[in-house]
Amino acid sequence: MSNQRNLNNFLADDQLNKSQLLALIELAINIKKNPADYSQALAGKSVAMIFEKPSLRTHVSFDMGINKLGGHALYLGQQNGKLGERERVSDYAKNLSCFADAIVARVFSHDSIQGLAQHASVPVINALCDIYHPCQALADFVTLTEQFGDLSKVKLAYVGDGNNVSNSLMIMAAILGVDFTLVTPTGYEAEESIIEKTQALANESGAKLYITSDINNICAQDVIYTDTWVSMGDEDSNKKAALLAHFAPYQVNHQLMKDTDASIVMHCQPAHLEEEITTELFDSDMAVVFQQAENRMWAQNAVLVSLLKN
Ligand code: NVA
């Protein structure tokens, strides 16, 4: 992965430094407070949105968000075949660059995102891949900023499957200097390379990073975050019962909130109620899940405005 520092694309969380991330968070909050000031920010611009996987929040928040900026969004599902099958990823990127001012892509493989970025002449935004979900993490830190003001005082724990959402969240936490605890069942930990990268970023920012498989080691937290135990593309109905049993101790529920003294629960959705989170907690005042969902739009609009400002 390149260590690019100019905001030419939005591909993976570690491509941004702390001041760039803080600027995006501030811009997202500003656009949210003053939408009329940005109503022409994307006037005359079109964004092509490639979706290899299902989506509710990402599709709607990009489409309606781009509309709020005066731009035009085009949804491309799988009617043209899978990326790289009917046409090479490079040709997809070059063709779309003829028409679009930016490309948003939700893909199975991070390689596709990198291929698009390498061959497109317009900015590419990662709308989820197998390794990262940077739009979600950015929206989540917008939400945490709204909740706490000063991010440096927040203690955030992610409990559940080590996946794209937890990777992006912990990398961004490390960059921003937020203390982060990752609790994943054995066999479902984050990749070693992601942990090493996050630890290096945490060493730089001074954030504490704690990783465990023992749910009893979670300590006091302000916020508990969880996501589905089975990500899109990883479904295997034969293994579901064993997986649910293995993950059961990691369910986020009122007892865990009480044990950790946490006051806020987060979930990127879609939620699998009574699996990774109880219905009671998801529906409670502790949950900020719809604030997170709304902030997807403002955070992505901040990314679009930053990428397309020239
Ligand atoms: N980890 C989940 C996130 C969905 C928004 C998935 O990749 O399916």
Q: What is the pLDDT of residues 85-111, one digit of tens each?
A: 889 999 999 999 999 999 999 999 999
303 and 283 in a single domain? The answer is: no
Give the atom of ligand 1 at the shortest distance from the alpha carbon of 234. 8
Residue 145 alpha carbon to ligand 1 centre in Å: 23
Does residue 156 form part of some domain? yes
139 and 80 in a single domain? The answer is: no
* Tokens 């390794």 found at: 131
Does residue 8 form part of some domain? no
pLDDT number for residue 238: 83
Does residue 6 form part of some domain? no
Mean pLDDT of the chain: 95
Question: Ligand 1 pocket, 268 CB below 6 A?
Answer: yes
Measured N-to-C along each axis, helices 164-176 and 18-33 cross at an angle, to the nearest 10 degrees, of: 100
85 and 141 in a single domain? The answer is: no
28 and 166 in a single domain? The answer is: no
Measured N-to-C along each axis, helices 18-33 and 289-307 cross at an angle, to the nearest 10 degrees, of: 110
pLDDT number for residue 1: 35
129 and 156 in a single domain? The answer is: no
Residue 57 C-alpha from the chain's centroid: 11
Say which range, 97-101, 165-169, 240-244, 304-308, has the weakest mean pLDDT. 240-244
Is it the case that residue 6 has pLDDT exceeding 80? no
pLDDT band at 155 (very low <50, low <70, confident <90, very high): very high
Does residue 224 form part of some domain? yes
- For residue 64, give the nearest of 301, 307, 302, 303 by alpha carbon: 301
100 and 145 in a single domain? The answer is: no
Q: Are strands 179-183 and 264-267 parallel, antiparallel or unpaired?
A: unpaired
**CATH classification at residue 279:** 3.40.50.1370
243 and 96 in a single domain? The answer is: no
What phi, psi does 178 have (nearest 5°)?
-95, 130
136-160 average pLDDT score:
97
pLDDT number for residue 2: 38
Helix (H) or strand (E) holding 223: strand 223-226
Question: Ligand 1 pocket, 231 CB below 6 A?
Answer: yes
Q: How far apart are CA 121 and CA 94, in angstroms?
A: 7
210 and 275 in a single domain? The answer is: yes
Does residue 3 form part of some domain? no
153-172 average pLDDT score:
98
Nearest CA to ligand 1 atom 2: 231
Residue 35 alpha carbon to ligand 1 centre in Å: 29
63 and 158 in a single domain? The answer is: no
Nearest CA to ligand 1 atom 1: 231
Does residue 49 form part of some domain? yes
pLDDT number for residue 225: 99
Does residue 7 form part of some domain? no
Say which range, 34-48, 196-210, 223-237, has the weakest mean pLDDT. 223-237
199 and 144 in a single domain? The answer is: yes
119 and 231 in a single domain? The answer is: no
106 and 246 in a single domain? The answer is: no
Residue 300 alpha carbon to ligand 1 centre in Å: 17
Domain residue limits at 192: 135-292
Domain count, the chain: 2
112-135 average pLDDT score:
98
Does residue 83 form part of some domain? yes
pLDDT digits (tens, 9 = 90+) for 267-303: 999 999 999 999 999 999 999 999 999 999 999 999 9
Is it the case that residue 69 has pLDDT exceeding 90? yes
pLDDT number for residue 5: 53
